[in-house]
Structures are given as structure tokens and as C-alpha cells.
Structure 1
């Protein structure tokens, strides 16, 4: 095989071909970090030597790429911690090691020089720089969550968020809710957008004005709800992020709202603590263990041409609603 061209290196390093030329020739006015990154990418792609087929490492990579560059610990989120445990177990069962990458990436060249056979990307957002680098290097990728701009040969594993959202809203309406607020709108990944669109469509069909309350992961007192709760603008909340149920509860307590008598609450979460609160909170599980097993098995199949694998497109894992006392008024079922 012939060696990589300047265009190949530029695409992988996310710079112009002129920058590549300057970096490799020691010319131009480039920052030292840029010059070093381009040279590392060129070396990783085999520039300057006869290119040989990629050598298998027996290692898979896993990364959460939403909120790019933010120094957040996604392992503190029950969904990701449970998925990671299942992903590692599945990778080991197939004879692979699993490397888990940090969320805080900045401008480091990690994604351009990472040595793995394939990557599992979780919650890939719009304009995902990590995904662009992996595609440029030809590293196979399988997604947890539908990519925002999928390529024809992409495979992803996800829930049917539209169906699940309707199930939650119908459940709240059957429990007596007349004005349901959606606690969402933080990320740019497919999950947030799909849930929000389904909620808005459900509201339009019933001639209800949608009420989307912005989620903030640092809003532990739930101040985002102050106006809606003070004006009694809603009598139910569906929160799509794990901390949301606790934020709703804190805000309701400050405003003297009783759950479930005055306010019904559903939260999408894998945290078992919600079953022990007073009252226990109705949750939606996205079944991360099943998603992880399916995604890793699919990625392994993509790495073995002799092994049959699923066709490109989405693989659906049904979510599950666990009704509890937070959506049960008057001791009803």
C-alpha cells in the first residue's frame, strides 16, 4: 500500500494541507503544539515509510463525546457506569481489552494517535471532532445513540425515544396530569432532540402549549423550576436526565408542592436510589446493559469480515417504564 498523502494527514489532524507541509518541513509560523500534533498524526499514519496494513491490537475503545472538552466525570452518572461495566464484560468475553477515554480532551492529539481496533462512541453530538478524527483514520465505529448525521454504513444502538416519550406522557395524563413540563434541552445529542420533538408533537396533538424547562447539571436546588412552580404552570414533570428527579423534588419542597398530590414526577434514570425516596419516583430505564452488550458485539462483528453482522442502520433496545408512587394519586394503581 502507498503511504499517506498530505491530504490524508490534514484530514486526520483537522488542519489544512499547508499547515501539514509547514509542520513536516519545519517552516511557517505554527504553534509548537500544532506542529507536534501534525507530526504525531503523520507518524501514526505511517508517513515517511512504506504503509502496511493495520496491525490488530486486541483493544476496543469507549468514549462519551457529548459536551466535548468539558472536564466532567461521566462515570458518576448511573447510566454510563452501568453501561461501562457491561461493555467491559462483553469485550472480555470476545477476547478484547476495553480502553475507556476521558471526557476532557481539549486540543490534545489523543484521538489522532489512539491505537485501537474499533471505537464505541456514546452520545455523539453534532460536529463531533472525535468522530471526524476516527473516520479519517478508518477506525470502525459503533454508536450508542443515533449519530446526528449518520453515514450510510453507520450502525448504532438506541432506544425508540419517540415511543418511550409518548408512553411517559400518556402515563402522566392517565394519572391526572393536565399540564406536563419537559425538563430537557441541555445536550445536542440525538437523545435530547428526539425526546423534545416527541413531547412537542404530543402537545400539538392535544392543543397543549409545550413547556420545556432547561436542565442544568449544577442546579441542585432546582431553581429552573421556580417560575413554573410559583405560578403553578404545570402539575407534572418528565425529566430526561438522571439528576433531574432530585432537582424537581428540591424545587417542589421549596414551593410547598406535594408529590404526587400536587405534582407528578417521572425521571429517566438508572439510579436505584429513586426507588427508595419518599415518595419513590417513577423512572424510565434505557437498559444500558443491553445496549452495551449489543453495541460491543456489533463492533466485534464489524472487525471480523468472516463473521456475519447486522446491516447498517439502527438496532432498537426497548426502554421500560417503572411506575412508582410519584405518579400515583389517591393510592391508585
Structure 2
């Protein structure tokens, strides 16, 4: 390991998003600075190792985080993200990098201003993402899993074709006999929620159907948000749940309301959870292939860090897959 110089005032200024003069005042106890600014600059300087001699690490490091929501939540409990993190870790190790998994909390606690990584993989970044802003200001290479909310020329990302996938699901349900298809849509501001909802609205307009949208609520284990939708003569007879728990929520709602699946209600859920193959009935799922997406994103990021990436060729599109099971099958005609 070789000794390397510590950070300069300019390095600290970029990380803290202040001027070099502000850094100088904060570190020397001079000038008219607010207590919060002075403390943030000093914490950033400490985190960057200012005033000490550092040693160059043997292994370079990538970071990964899901920044969709502003509050803390354990995204590794969701099958999609768990599988993506595992695949990204393996891909990073294969290229000689460690991978650090960052918490989802986007609170301004200084973490993102002093994070020591060579590059960052951001998953489902929404519009106005403060973490992306902080990392861009520091000049840290970024690659996105899911189209970024605020893309810039030259940005690189990996994504599925959500419009084509949504239309495939809706066409499948219609071919199975569904006439009033509803969507359980996400409430986040990430590209996925907006793309799926827009594709659904376009499909409904083309088929002369009224859009029926139920907001996704991860706390609604019994699927009570579907009660009004699934009652009455004009009830929905099929639902596409665009988020992982939606399939189980719909099974619970159907059982409570006495609806037989798929005879009276067909359903499809976007999920990587293999448990849906064992539900009663087994639930048709959409897989977005998180392993392939994560491996591709890590490859893009390492190439960008090492200067091997050419001009951004546009998004890398990962095919999704429809795994048809009993919950959405057409019923055989009566003999």
C-alpha cells in the first residue's frame, strides 16, 4: 500500500457543496458561518481524511442504493432488490471491486457528501433525487438501474421496456377473457411507476376501456383497497399488480369477497418471488430479470470508472418475461 496525499480544500468544497473560502473559514474558525454549515464542512473534512496521510486501498469499491423513497425502508427484503444486490456483488467481485450496499434513507445526513466509492449504482432514482445531485457534484461516476428521473446527456442506465411488458400483460388478460382490467400502480416518482401507468392508460384508450387504477399500499396485507373495485355488476374481472405484494393482496381480497380465481378474477403480478408458484392458485408473474440488469449495470459502471466506456449508446434494455400460471389462464369452454 502506498501513501497518498490527503484531500485539498477544493476536494472538501466539492463534497460539501460550498466554496473553498467557506471551507477555509469553517476549518479555521473564522468568518460568519452558520453553525450547521460550519459543522457540516468539518464533518465532511473529517470523513475525507483531511489532515492525515492516507493509504491507497488495495480493492476499489462500488456503491449501490435504492433512492426511490425519501424515508428509510429495507429494500433487501423485496425479492427484486435482494436478487439485484446479490448479482451486483458477484459482478463487482469478478471485476476486482468490492460492493457497498447503502441504506435507502435519502435524509441529508452528510453520508452522500463524504461517501468513499469509486462509482455508484443508483436503483429507481426519482426526479429531484438529492443523492444523485450530491454525487454528481463530487464527480463520482454514476450508472442507473431503471431510467433516472433526471437524465443528462451521457448518462448510462439499464432498464426493461415497461410499455411493451405492460401491454403484453394486458393483452394476455384480454385474450383469457377479461373485459374490465384494472391496474395496481405504484405511488413513487420513479420511472417504473410512471411508465407502467402511462402504458396502461394508453392501452385502455385504444380498447375503449375506462382506466381503473388502485394505488399500491404495501401495508394493505388484506387487499382492502380492492374492495370497491371488485364489487358490483361493473366490477373489475382482472388486475395487473405492478408491485411484489400485490398478488397476495389480491388473493386475500378475492377470498374475502368470495371471488374464484381465475373463474371470476384473473390476476398477474410483477414479482421475483418464487413463492407465487406455490400459492392457491399459482399466480402468473412478470419477471424483470434483476440479475441480468444488475450485471449489465455493474459492467457499465466499471467500464466508466476505468475509462473503457465509449459514448453512451442509450439505455441497455433487459427483456422481461411473462410466467403464465393458473391465476390468469382462460377457462375451457363448456362442452
Give 1:157 shift: 0.2
- Cα–Cα, structure 1 residues 14 and 177, in superposed 2: closer, same or farther, change >3 Å? farther
Partner residue of 1:297 out of 296, 299, 320: 299
Residues of 2 paired with 1:19 and 1:199: CA distance? 50
Residues of 1 paired with 2:131 and 2:332: CA distance? 50
1:248 maps to which residue?
250
1:271 maps to which residue?
273
1:38 maps to which residue?
41
Give 1:166 shift: 0.5
User: 3-state DSSP class of the match of 2:262?
Assistant: coil
Residues of 2 paired with 1:312 and 1:39: CA distance? 40
Residues of 2 paired with 1:233 and 1:31: CA distance? 59
Residues of 2 paired with 1:3 and 1:329: CA distance? 67
Native 8 Å contact 1:4 1:45 kept in 2: no
Native 8 Å contact 1:180 1:238 kept in 2: yes
CA offsets 1:304-330 (integer angstroms, 9 cap, x no match): 12x355724210001000111001132
Q: Which runs of 5+ in 1 are unaligned?
A: none
1:202 maps to which residue?
203
Native 8 Å contact 2:26 2:33 kept in 1: no
Give 1:36 shift: 2.2
Paired residues, number:
324
1:143 and 2:119 aligned:
no
Native 8 Å contact 1:3 1:48 kept in 2: no
Partner residue of 2:290 out of 288, 291, 305: 288
1:100 and 2:101 aligned:
yes
Q: Which runs of 5+ in 2 are unaligned?
A: 1-6
Stretch deviating more after TM superposition (101-110 or 289-298): 101-110
Residues of 1 paired with 2:236 and 2:225: CA distance? 13
Residues of 1 paired with 2:260 and 2:142: CA distance? 46
- Cα–Cα, structure 1 residues 330 and 128, in superposed 2: closer, same or farther, change >3 Å? same
- Cα–Cα, structure 1 residues 272 and 213, in superposed 2: closer, same or farther, change >3 Å? same
Residues of 2 paired with 1:85 and 1:48: CA distance? 37
User: 3-state DSSP class of the match of 1:61?
Assistant: strand
TM-score of the aligned structures, taking structure 1 as reference length: 0.89
